[in-house]
Chains A and B, each alone.
Chain A
Amino acid sequence: DAKTTQPPSMDCAEGRAANLPCNHSTISGNEYVYWYRQIHSQGPQYIIHGLKNNETNEMASLIITEDRKSSTLILPHATLRDTAVYYCIVRVHNDYKLSFGAGTTVTVRA
């Protein structure tokens, strides 16, 4: 019962911004949008999360539309080390369950 829809794959050029879309049209008012990524052969890594305001940290920015039905993760200057599977997840804050969908495989090319 996937709550999010992401493109299966995307390429981006090293040094350019990578914009990763996510649709979550059935999101509830108390559900947050979380992004994790998984670099090959490693455990998933938390990137950022938000409820309705745009958020930024040292890794990325998260832009959530006003109706909260979609969001975009922005990696401002992609590097080769950003090649990974990126997962967009909606969940109630402090709900133990983290339900991963298929994610987007992002390949950063030199």
Chain B
Amino acid sequence: DTEVTQTPKHLVMGMTNKKSLKCEQHMGHRAMYWYKQKAKKPPELMFVYSYEKLSINESVPSRFSPECPNSSLLNLHLHALQPEDSALYLCASSQPGSLTDTQYFGPGTRLTVL
């Protein structure tokens, strides 16, 4: 099973709402990632968790709060977002130290902030 699942597929929220994006993988991977992709642009790395510890934060605003409750799950908590935060949010996973070092991506959550 090489699948990364993400819920919800679509999310519309107001600027005062609090919502969460969820990501799950059952490949036994110990690194998980959040990327943000604006329309017609390439994905940009936001956060990396390695062995359930935050190892990279690419200077992401604090209104985005990641959480890794266990090795299979990754959440992204959203609060007080701005319309410019509307984007496709992609989750990925990989196995550190593996031969191919492949990142497997989920289908993404398309977020619209009103």
Co-complex (A, B): yes
Per-residue CB contact flags for chain A residues 82-105 toward chain B (1 = under 8 Å, else 0) read 000101000001101111111100
B21 within 8 A of A: no
CA distance A85 to B42 in the complex (A): 9
With a CB–CB cut-off of 8 A, which chain B residues contact A41?
Answer: 107-108
With a CB–CB cut-off of 8 A, which chain B residues contact A101?
Answer: 42
Per-residue CB contact flags for chain B residues 77-114 toward chain A (1 = under 8 Å, else 0) read 00000000000001010101110111111111000000
Per-residue CB contact flags for chain A residues 47-65 toward chain B (1 = under 8 Å, else 0) read 0010000000000000000
A contacts with B, residue count (CB < 8 A):
20
Q: Most chain-A CB neighbours within 10 Å: which of B45, B90, B101, B106?
A: B101
With a CB–CB cut-off of 8 A, which chain A residues contact B97?
Answer: 94
B contacts with A, residue count (CB < 8 A):
26
CB of B102 within 8 A of CB of A44, answer no
Task: Give residues of chain A (1-50) contacting chain B, Cβ–Cβ below 8 Å.
Answer: 38, 41-46, 49
CA distance A97 to B55 in the complex (A): 11
Q: How many residue pairs at the A-B interface have CB separations less than 8 Å?
A: 52
**Known: A43-B92, A43-B108, A96-B33. Contact between A103 and B42, CB under 8 A?**
yes
Q: List the interface of chain B (C-beta within 8 A of A).
A: 4, 31, 33, 42-45, 48, 50, 55-56, 90, 92, 94, 96-98, 100-108
With a CB–CB cut-off of 8 A, which chain A residues contact B45?
Answer: 97-99
A98 smallest CB distance to B (angstroms): 6
Out of A38, A45, A49, A103, which one reaches B100, CB within 8 Å? A49
CB of B90 within 8 A of CB of A44, answer yes
CB of A93 within 8 A of CB of B101, answer yes
CB of A94 within 8 A of CB of B105, answer no
Write the chain A residue with the least CB distance to B43: A100
**Known: A96-B33, A96-B56, A97-B45. Contact between A43 and B105, CB under 8 A?**
yes
CB of B50 within 8 A of CB of A96, answer yes
CA distance A3 to B21 in the complex (A): 31
